[in-house]
Amino acid sequence: MPRPAYTLTELMAVVAAREIRDGEVVFAGTGLPMLGVMLAQRTHAPNCVIIFEAGTVASQLAHLPMSVGDPRAMRRAAAAAGLIEVFSYVLQAGRVDVGFLSGAQVDRFGNINSTSIGRNPRRPSVRFSGSGGACDIACLAKRTVIIAKHEERRFPERVDYITSPGWLEGGTSRGEAGLVRGGPEAMVTTMGVMRFRQKTKAAYLESYHPGLTPGSVAKATGFALETGGAVETPPPTPEELRILRREVDPEGIFLG
């Protein structure tokens, strides 16, 4: 077999895009999620709408932003305001269908840490950026998709700090915590795609990326990962790759 003619970033962007349905309101952060939404808009979801927490609604991006507060996010936006408007009237009010999240650690219930490493949050050994809007998106979007680098230490049994609540302890614990909606639907990683069992809310492997095996994915996961029934991730189509490279990120900002 010849080497696949796409990069891992391209594959993940395509997989992320496929999580978006037409007509949905998407809350996206910088990087892969932006690639995913822009690709979805140019393929199967022409009517999905992109919201950036810094204050723009329904941008029609001409150039990839490098931050959610980038002047590029203003391009042909339907509305522009500030954070309080987007967070309260759009997100908290329940108008966001899907939000994208990422972090340094993710556990089997899709709880995410983007704050710090170390059990004592007052004396962390490694400090990250912090929540930003991630905790809010995790709490208030109708569903979320998690993007993560797949390494054993990044998928521990429990995260050191729950910056963004997923299914918490699994089962019905999310609702019991007082959260009114949402929860993670998928984790798109550098090795595959995981989803969550309906009752237990524990992650299972839905697909592994071409070149890998279910076993190799499980081995790179710090918690016990169910892999029965997993299939190979469908690779990007030539059309998806063309759009990604020529239209979405011709500058090579995130695709390299």
Partner 1 sequence: MDLRRAASLVPDGATISFGGFTTQRHPMAFVYELIRLGKRDLYLFGHSPGGDWDILIGAGCVKRVELAYEADEAFNTVGPRWRRAVERGRIEWEDYSNFSMVARFTAGAMGIPFMPVRSLLGSDVLAKTALGPKQRRSDPRTSPKKAHVMTSPFNPGERVVLVPAIRTDIAVLHVQKATSQGTVRIEGQTFADVQQALCAQTVIVTAEEIVKEDVLRLEPERNPIPNFAVTHVCHVPFGAHPYAVFNYYDYDPLQLKEYHEEARDDDAFRRYLEKYVSGVKDHAQYLEAVGGRTRLDPLKASPSFGYSPDLKRRRL
Q: Mind telling me the catalytic residues?
A: 53
What are the φ/ψ torsions at residue 153 (nearest 5 degrees)?
-70, -20
* Binds partner 1 (CB under 8 A): choice among 130, 210, 229, 250: 130
Question: How far is it, in rounded angstroms, from Cα 127 to Cα 120?
Answer: 12
Question: Tokens for 24?
Answer: 């949905």
Q: Beta partners for 146?
A: 101, 187
69 touching partner 1, by CB under 8 A? yes
Q: Beta partners for 203?
A: 196
Residue with structure tokens 């239209």?
A: 247
CB of 144 to partner 1, least distance (A): 13
Residues 7-26 interacting with partner 1 (rule: CB under 8 A) = none
Question: How far is it, in rounded angstroms, from Cα 17 to Cα 38?
Answer: 8
Query: Of 168-176, 192-200, 225-233, 238-246, which part binds partner 1 (CB under 8 A)?
Result: 168-176
* HSE value, Cβ hemisphere, 13 Å, CA-based, for 75: 11
63 touching partner 1, by CB under 8 A? yes
CB of 49 to partner 1, least distance (A): 17
Phi-psi region of 71 (alpha: psi -120 to 50; beta: other; left: phi over 0): alpha
* Binds partner 1 (CB under 8 A): choice among 7, 95, 128, 223: 128
Of 133 and 214, the one with the shorter C-beta distance to partner 1 is 133
Query: Of 13-21, 126-134, 185-193, 214-222, which part binds partner 1 (CB under 8 A)?
Result: 126-134
Residue with structure tokens 């170390």?
A: 118
Of 147 and 193, the one with the shorter C-beta distance to partner 1 is 147
60 touching partner 1, by CB under 8 A? no
What are the φ/ψ torsions at residue 150 (nearest 5 degrees)?
-95, 100
* Binds partner 1 (CB under 8 A): choice among 60, 125, 172, 237: 125
In DSSP notation, 3-51 reads PPSS-HHHHHHHHHHHTPPTT-EEE--TTHHHHHHHHHHHTT-TT-EEE
**How many residues belong to the site for partner 1 (CB under 8 A)?**
65
Which positions touch partner 1 (CB under 8 A)? Answer: 30-31, 53-56, 62-63, 66-75, 80-84, 87-88, 91-92, 115-116, 121-136, 138-140, 161-165, 168, 173-174, 177-180, 251-254, 256
